[in-house]
Structure 1
Amino acid sequence: MNKKVFRLQKLQGHGSEYCSVPLCSVSSRYNSVVSFHSFPMDEKVKTKWLENIRRDNFQVTKHTKICSVHFTGDDFVEGSQRRRLKGSAIPTLFQWNQYGQVEPSRGVWEPLERPEPPNMDVDEGSVEDGSEMTCQDYCSAPEAAALDLALIKNKELKKEVEDLRNKLEQTQLHSRFGLQRFAASDEDIRFYTGFASYSHLMAFWELIEPATHQMIRVTNSKPTRETGATRKPTQTLPTIDEFFMFMMHLVLGLKERDLAHRFHVHQSTVSRIITSLANFLYFLLGSVCIWMPKDKVQAYLPEEFGNFQDTQVILYCTELHCQTPSSLLLQSEVFSNYKSHCTFKALIGMAPHGAITFVSGLYAGSVSDREMFRQSGIIPLLTPDMAIMVDKGFLVDDLVPCKIHRPVFLKRCTRMPAYDVKHTQSVARLRVHVERCIRQVKEHKLFDTVIPMSISGSINKLFTVSCLLVNYQNGPLVKAWSKF
């Protein structure tokens, strides 16, 4: 007998035919493969159908049908396009005669049957002789050779784990962009921070590190509703790596987006770190008085200033190119006729031995040297026993109480007298060092390019910090002045 059975398939149809067999839930609405068959016209076969489906006193209509699930494969006519039953076909597959019954699943608390233990390999000779079977004594002490081998293996594994841990630390160190990654290379430290060596940088860090614990950080946290206090900002990087990032921004002029990719932090985090450290170093380094008393200047006065021994400070103005503002009023204020560009202007003073002793704030490029000198705040620091060395453009004789060393103007003469030529050459030969000092400041690439207006709010602090850092980063301007 052919055991082919038509199985249910859950394919949605559009009919509304149902199977009349009790406990059968098949309908044409959800089964497009199962066919439905009407009761036969033959009364004997029809009676047999009613007996098999166990429906007594059941009224059969033209809509009463039985699905193909209850028939065997031999009950259908072979070769026909539509599924047709043979005239003698009788439904025989029902739930009560174990057709389609699924073995009930095992309960959670029912114990599982344990498999039989495998047959142990036994020496045939011992069984035949009737001798007893001996089992392994697991309580007996292991041999000394086995213990030594285990100890050696244990030491080797510990050494291997230690080596892998060291390699992992080295890999993490090289994958993380931070100061410790370049600690062994003074050349890299000089490139990224401007300090001569790693030990030089760490010496400066030891000076400022105690104050970093009191640094007020810029944060985007909002005050809480309960207390009104601002949450303490979370620190993503170690403080020394934040300082390293700040120096890279200052020395290399790297953009915040570039620094964010290097240190694996968000761009807004980089912006907050730079602003926080700019404020911190501005107030920390600015709290140290860089203006030197006259006796200190005389103690470190180089021999080249023999004819100008009363010189207290060499002054010079510098300009930083900035982005052109969109406002016409601002354009007229920051436009410099000397540079033919929008600029910020600052006055820098250098002691004769090369240290920066005065830094003014930044002014608009349209301000004259005389007006900037008057507003910079250096006049109250000067006394009659001092002298300042300036360029030709500083016409400030009526503003200062001291002597001025300045190159001589040609005036209306066709030729300059010999003593004026010598004086001009002597002043120019000494005054050029302040320009070299300013060049050290502008080696911080942030100020050697066009400054965007987006950082105009913090550029004054950044420039002041850059000037003050020059005293810590670099050696003497002239090798002969190294003793100073």
Structure 2
Amino acid sequence: MVHTCVVTGCRNRRTPGTGLSFYRFPRDPDRKQRWIEAVNREGWVPNDGSRLCSTHFISEMKEPGAVEILDKQEARVEAANALLFLQGQGSTAVGERVQEEHPEEREQEAIVEESASSSLSTDDEDEDESVSDSKKGKFDAPVNFEDILRALKKENQALRESVEKMSLSENSLRNDAEKVKFYTGLPNYFVLETVMWLLAPHMDGMKNVRLSKFQQLLLTLMRLRLDLRNQDLAYRFGVKVGMLTKTVHRMVNIMSSTLVPTAVFWPSRAELRKNLPAALRTSHPDCAVIIDCFTVPFEEPVSRGNQHQQQQRVAPSSQGEGTSYNVLKYLIGVAPQGVVTFVSRGVLGNVSDKTLAEGCGFLCKLLPGDVVLAARNLDIADSVAARGALFKIACSHQGEASGSSEGSPLADSSSEAVSVQRHVERVISMVKRRYAMLTGPVESPFTAASERTSNLSTFDKIVQVACALNNLCISAAPLE
């Protein structure tokens, strides 16, 4: 700070080479008042920046007077305190607080100031120069801002990659086949992208500003694959449960009408024989399908209205006093290669296998001479035989009845029978193992008919969609 003398008419300024000293007004009230009177400016009150130059003091004295000595010492002490304050010590505030708390020590101030080191400068210019030197020493080292910027950009990129890897987005799944397989059941991102490409045109009417089309498909696949509850998925995708539930139902309807008709179909006999697995080629060259029936329990008993609707699908002969209405029963047919070729609607209650097979349209798919394999006795041999086909049980016990009307046993060696049995069991369990939601229990909102014009419940569509998605994966027996 450049100080100017406050005396009227004096134009002295503190500049290098002048040899002048500038003094601040003393703290002592009496001395301070005498200085103000000497300035002779009516109504004027000094502030912290007010200074008097040395030309207005008695200069004939060889030695400075006691008043001048005290003023210089006070200036030195205050300059030193200011330097300490700039260095983070806060000495000025501490010193002033001590003086306020202990007024008796103010009488000894002059003695303490006179004993100060003579090495301190006699004017404020020297103190400012020392402060400047301190600052220069502190910030003397050059700073390379380009290196700092590059380091921050690198750290920012690493954080972005870490967040992206933990998120459920297209980029996080694109190069991670294991992640795609875990969350969707599909073998890689290419298949997932293909499914998205097939469904996208049918999703244009779905107004959902919070979720993209990809997110809507992904959360639906996660629902089927991992059987995650709606609340869990709502937390993961940052939406309300109601919105997520509607999204799942809409996506299931779209996939049911788009994927199922093109992915779940009954192949021709020539195609079946051409791609027959080696495990069945010798023992069962005419195998057309491997079937099984499975039940899925409810989370809660269905309503009476739903019971009546489901009972209408079952033949009257299957109804009995001991019928249970807390399960859905399905018949699934799988080609020997592991591709699902047929899946029935769900029938409510403990209906017999024969009634289910005769009422779901499965028998209409069979041709004379076809062989139907199963891992257990389903009590449908007579119904299959009526279509000119043959029903056999894949087991390793020789002499066990095949279930056909003629009662012919499996005519193959023990090792071949074990191989066939293992293959059949692997094919049947593949779909349920890939999509955990098919193991139940089923939540009650999924058991109601999804549309007024359709007899299919939402869960029926979920089973069919799971079968269609299974057919997009690698089969149990890859083509040779």
Q: Find the counterpart in structure 2 of residue 299 from structure 1.
A: 274
Name the TM-score, length of structure 1 as normaliser.
0.56
The one-character-per-residue Cα deviations of 1:268-292 (angstroms, maximum 9, x if unpaired) are 2211221122112212211315321
Shift of 1:169: 2.0
Residues 331-350 of structure 1: pairs in structure 2 closer than 5 A: 333=311, 342-350=326-334
Equivalent position to 2:380, from 394, 400, 408? 394
Alignment of 1:16-415 (within 5 A): 122-124=15-17, 153=144, 155-170=146-161, 172-173=163-164, 176-178=167-169, 180-181=171-172, 186-195=177-186, 200-216=187-203, 233-288=207-262, 290-305=265-280, 306-322=282-298, 323-327=300-304, 330=307, 333=311, 342-390=326-374, 391-397=377-383, 400-407=386-393, 409=401
Tell me the equivalent position of 2:478: 482
Q: What is the root-mean-square deviation in Å for CA atoms of aligned residues? A: 4.0
Offset of residue 461 of structure 1: 0.8
Say whether residues 1:420 and 2:409 are aligned partners. yes
2:426 to 413, 436, 440: 436
Residue type at the aligned position of 1:451:
V
Residue 465 of structure 1: aligned partner? 465
Determine the C-alpha separation between the residues in 1 that align with 2:14 and 2:165. Answer: 58
Q: Report the Cα offset of residue 298 of structure 1.
A: 0.6
SS at match of 2:327: strand
Query: Gaps spanning 5+ residues in structure 2: where?
Result: 5-12, 21-140, 394-399, 449-457
**Compared with structure 1, are the counterparts of its residues 376 and 392 closer, same or farther at alpha carbon in structure 2 (3 Å cutoff)?**
closer
**2:436 pairs with one of 445, 448, 453:** 445
Amino acid at match of 2:243: T
The question of whether the paired residues in 2 share the 8 Å contact of 1:316 and 1:348 is answered with yes
Looking at structure 2, the residues matched to 370 and 327 of structure 1 have their Cα atoms a distance apart, in angstroms, of 25
Q: Report the alpha carbon displacement of residue 456 of structure 1 after superposing the two structures with TM.
A: 0.9
Shift of 1:398: 6.8
Residue 227 of structure 1: aligned partner: none
Gaps of 5+ in 1: 1-115, 128-148, 220-232
TM-score (ref. length: structure 2): 0.56
- Summarize the Cα distance change of 1:118–1:347 in structure 2 as closer, same or farther, 3 Å threshold: farther
Q: Deviations over 1:392-423 (max 9, x none)?
A: 41144477533213246499xxxx99x73657
CA–CA separation in structure 1 for the residues paired with 2:355 and 2:198: 37
The residue type equivalent to 1:464 in the other structure is Q
Paired with 1:161 and 1:121, the residues of 2 have a C-alpha distance of: 46
For the residues of structure 2 that align with 1:293 and 1:396, how far apart are their CA atoms? 24
Alpha carbons of structure 1 residues 410 and 256: separation in structure 2 relative to 1, 3 Å: closer
Question: 1:441, 1:470 within 8 Å by CA — same for their partners in 2?
Answer: yes
Give the deviation of 1:300 after TM superposition.
Answer: 0.9
Q: Name the aligned partner's letter for residue 363 of structure 2.
A: I
Alignment CA distance shift 1:171-1:432 (3 Å): closer
1:386–1:403 Cα contact (<8 Å) kept: yes
Contact 2:307–2:325 (8 Å) recurs in 1? no
Shift of 1:309: 1.2
Equivalent residue of 1:348, what SS? strand
Q: How many residues align?
A: 321
The alpha-carbon deviation at position 464 of structure 1 amounts to 0.8
Q: Which structure has more helix as a fraction of its residues?
A: 2
CA drift of 1:158 comes to: 4.0
Contact 1:405 1:427 in 2 (8 A): no
Give me the whole-angstrom Cα distance separating, in 1, the residues matched to 2:413 and 2:305: 41
Q: Percent identity?
A: 19
